Structure 1
Amino acid sequence: MTRITYVTPHGEQIETDGENGSTVMETAIMNGVPGIIAECGGACTCATCHVYVDEDWTQIVGGPSNMEEDMLDFAFDVRDTSRLSCQIKVRDELDGLVVHVPTRQG
């Protein structure tokens, strides 16, 4: 299992264990993380699973694909560290990952 911490807009930290091969979005949904809506269920056709990757993790997580960048145009308050959590695969290298949930989605 890979430890992922979600930080809510109010500063609450929700620590979860993600199963390798799943996504950061799926892990959030399974653990009831508020603010991750995931209307499209992970198909990268909405921007309701938008997160900010903690700056310490941006190199390891990597950047968005072209398709993901197009969808981020619909997200609220996009930043350099913005990603769609449905596009981040959980893997051993992400153990300890920290992502921040925006104040609102798309």
Structure 2
Amino acid sequence: MPLVRREELMCASLPGHKWCPIMSGKSGHECVDILNTLDSCGGCATLGDEDGRDCSSIPNVDEVKCERGRCKIKSCQKGYVPGQGACVPIPGHAKAKRAGILHARHDSF
């Protein structure tokens, strides 16, 4: 059995792992822990996997992690708060007035 196929099968046997294309532009695949990996959280972000997301690409995020396959926003840049899986403008803040956003409650998705 070819080495790559063996690695793919080993990856599939690990709970919470998926065989994903390498994101850096190199060809090939790697075994990714989709429950904890920031740039492939919940699935292979490179495949356009419906569940996969690069948590670090969330606009206006300051601190974020991948927890149990979901992006968990810990903090946002100044003028924003975690809400509805994003960093949303703070109500009453100058940026919020321009965006027309009133409130937000959730910090993971």
Give your verdict on TM over 0.5: no
Structure index of larger Rg:
2
Give me the TM-score of the superposition, normalised by structure 1. Answer: 0.26
Give me the TM-score of the superposition, normalised by structure 2. Answer: 0.26
